[in-house]
A and B are shown apart, each in its own frame.
Chain A
């Protein structure tokens, strides 16, 4: 399942926070050009390493994972800018190009 219903998303966040755990939430805030996900798409990162949802497949996922790990460690939310140039995209065999602003946020109790 690639996308995740809001009902499940906030239940997962609430449950993890309820156990005293931090949840890192990546949200596609803004896009330009051809990007693999719509604005508002979310991916959750849990302390145990599990994830839910997606912000757009292979094109940005590695970079988002790295930033999410950093936010999990520091507890600091930040806005990140990712560009998917045509070259990078075609090298990876992806159809995406364009740019994405992704908020890497931290939800905790």
Chain B
């Protein structure tokens, strides 16, 4: 098999990407977009290298040294949390002079984020609809079958919402959370007994984010109870309770927006502060002068 053939075969890459997504893992796909060696079989435009978060790779850009520096940079790219970004090789591996002008597209490969919602009341149902619109794969759980009936979530963009009528909150939650990677959990049930069961199950499954609705008093009560029962203190501390950002939400839809804003901010490492804060700080400084 010639080098040329190896580089233009994309099926091993697409198979590896599909496996990665199914396993809930993350990786970077590097594609050569411009190459100083465009005329040769080495490092052709369109050559691809998939780098998994573990550092394992599939495919090749057609040169071992180039693969090695691109693998290193892929891991840095993943840490920066961009969806897609282009770099000249000289920007991350100036020592590799023969490829310094090569242009590489890095793309983040990651399953769409998931949101598991415990409780399909007004807030839970609104949150499910809003999160589906924003691109989350949503699972909505309730122990009252009539609250998770398909007729309530029948429009085209609601079809993707997975509805679960649960006999046991904790079993349903554990099954829905799975490995916990890329999963956010919002606990918005109707009572603190249900909250307690759900929070216990969520803490055991260790997803990326857990939030629980309720007053300071009600959430303290539930957290203290789990603490007494020996729940992991570090995991308890990470629970967002009361759930959501302070946007002054009143209606269930507004509360859902406040919750989703916090979940997006957590995933994208946003601060939740107004983007214009710098401008007002500046004005205050000017006024004080």
Partners in one complex: yes
Which of B67-75, B80-88, B275-283 lies on the face that meets chain A?
B80-88
Please give me the residue from chain A that is nearest to B9 by CB atom: A109
Which of A56-64, A89-97, A100-108 lies on the face that meets chain B?
A100-108
Complex Cα spacing A77 to B251, Å: 51
* A27 part of interface (Cβ distance < 8 Å): yes
CB-CB under 8 A from B21, the residues of chain A are: 6-7, 10
Complex Cα spacing A14 to B9, Å: 12
* A73 part of interface (Cβ distance < 8 Å): no
Structural contact, B33 and A6, CB atoms closer than 8 A? no
Complex Cα spacing A41 to B15, Å: 20
* B110 part of interface (Cβ distance < 8 Å): yes
Complex Cα spacing A30 to B103, Å: 11
Complex Cα spacing A90 to B103, Å: 32
Main secondary structure of the interface of B (DSSP, over half): mixed
Complex Cα spacing A39 to B87, Å: 13
Complex Cα spacing A20 to B35, Å: 27
CB-CB under 8 A from B22, the residues of chain A are: 7
One digit per residue, 1 when the CB lies within 8 angstroms of any chain A CB and 0 when it does not, for chain B 8-46 equals 111100110110011000000001011000000000011
Total cross-chain contacts (CB, 8 A): 73
CB-CB under 8 A from B15, the residues of chain A are: 14
* B52 part of interface (Cβ distance < 8 Å): no
One digit per residue, 1 when the CB lies within 8 angstroms of any chain B CB and 0 when it does not, for chain A 49-73 equals 0000000000000000000000000
CB distance from A109 to the nearest CB of B (A): 5
Structural contact, B33 and A79, CB atoms closer than 8 A? yes
CB-CB under 8 A from B10, the residues of chain A are: 13, 17, 107-109
* B266 part of interface (Cβ distance < 8 Å): no
Structural contact, A18 and B112, CB atoms closer than 8 A? no
Complex Cα spacing A39 to B83, Å: 7
Contact of A29 among B9, B105, B110, B112 (CB under 8 A): B105
Complex Cα spacing A30 to B88, Å: 12
* B148 part of interface (Cβ distance < 8 Å): no
Q: Are A6 and B105 CB-contacts (below 8 A) given A29-B84, A106-B46?
A: no
Please give me the residue from chain A that is nearest to B83 by CB atom: A40
Complex Cα spacing A23 to B164, Å: 37
* B107 part of interface (Cβ distance < 8 Å): yes
Structural contact, B110 and A77, CB atoms closer than 8 A? no
Structural contact, A6 and B109, CB atoms closer than 8 A? yes
Q: Name A's B-contacting residues (CB within 8 A).
A: 3, 5-7, 10-11, 13-14, 17-18, 27-30, 38-40, 76-79, 101, 103, 105-109
CB distance from B176 to the nearest CB of A (A): 18
* B108 part of interface (Cβ distance < 8 Å): yes
Structural contact, A105 and B108, CB atoms closer than 8 A? no
Q: Which of B10, B17, B22, B86 has the most CB of A within 10 A?
A: B10
* B130 part of interface (Cβ distance < 8 Å): no
CB-CB under 8 A from B82, the residues of chain A are: 39
Q: Which of A3, A79, A109 has the most CB of B within 10 A?
A: A79
Complex Cα spacing A17 to B66, Å: 27
CB distance from A71 to the nearest CB of B (A): 10
* B111 part of interface (Cβ distance < 8 Å): yes
Nearest 3 CB-CB pairs, A to B?
Answer: A40-B84, A77-B46, A107-B10
Structural contact, A6 and B110, CB atoms closer than 8 A? yes
Complex Cα spacing A11 to B109, Å: 13
Please give me the residue from chain A that is nearest to B32 by CB atom: A77
Structural contact, B46 and A10, CB atoms closer than 8 A? no
Structural contact, B14 and A107, CB atoms closer than 8 A? yes
Q: Are A7 and B83 CB-contacts (below 8 A) given A14-B11, A29-B105, A106-B46?
A: no
Please give me the residue from chain A that is nearest to B22 by CB atom: A7
Structural contact, B84 and A14, CB atoms closer than 8 A? no
CB-CB under 8 A from A40, the residues of chain B are: 83-84, 107-108
